[in-house]
Amino acid sequence: MLDGVKPRIGVLALQGDVREHLHALEACGADVVPVRRESELAAVDGLVLPGGESTTISKLLEVFDLLEPVRQRLRDGLPAYGSCAGMILLASEVLDTRPDMKPLHGIDMTVRRNAFGRQVDSFEADVDFAGLDGPVRAVFIRAPWVERAGDGVEVLARVPAGPAAGRIVAVRQGNVMATSFHPEVTGDLRVHKLFVDTVVRPRAGV
């Protein structure tokens, strides 16, 4: 933590692998809370959108009256990180999804849902990740990939080999980050630490 600052980071707790993100963020020194209500969203310094089922989470955001509040907080500069379904939700455009799925427009990118195939096509790979020492073990589960990254979007990682070699699987725009893989399930905390540091810096005046 910078200057002893302990950020409060919320994990959107409507569906998906919420618990794994809570544990990873807590291990990185954050004050972590599940977010299901607008009042809880208003109290956090950063937000994680977990893996799960993107169309279901999108629908639940509306059911819980959180869709527009989350969009507004992102427009206001809230740091956010999305993994897998969270990447899909943070996109400005989503391919191969239901027409009623409503993205959050957190990153200027086009994401293809389930790009790597179905559950049986899930796989792991070591990927180089910008800003981190050594490769990250990436777990892809019905994962998306980024087909278009806007001018202001930094590409952090690509698939290193195989039929999908070169596909973009991690990006950042400002203080919003997304990965198509699940670092919360590997025990490697470096991606979460990178996000926690992103949340801390503006609060610490860095």
| Active site amino acids | 84, 182, 184
Q: Are 128 and 170 in contact (CB under 8 A)?
A: no
Nearest-5° angle of CA 120, CA 181, CA 72? 125
Nearest to 94 by CA among 71, 110, 116: 110
Half-sphere exposure of 191 (CA within 13 A, CB side): 32
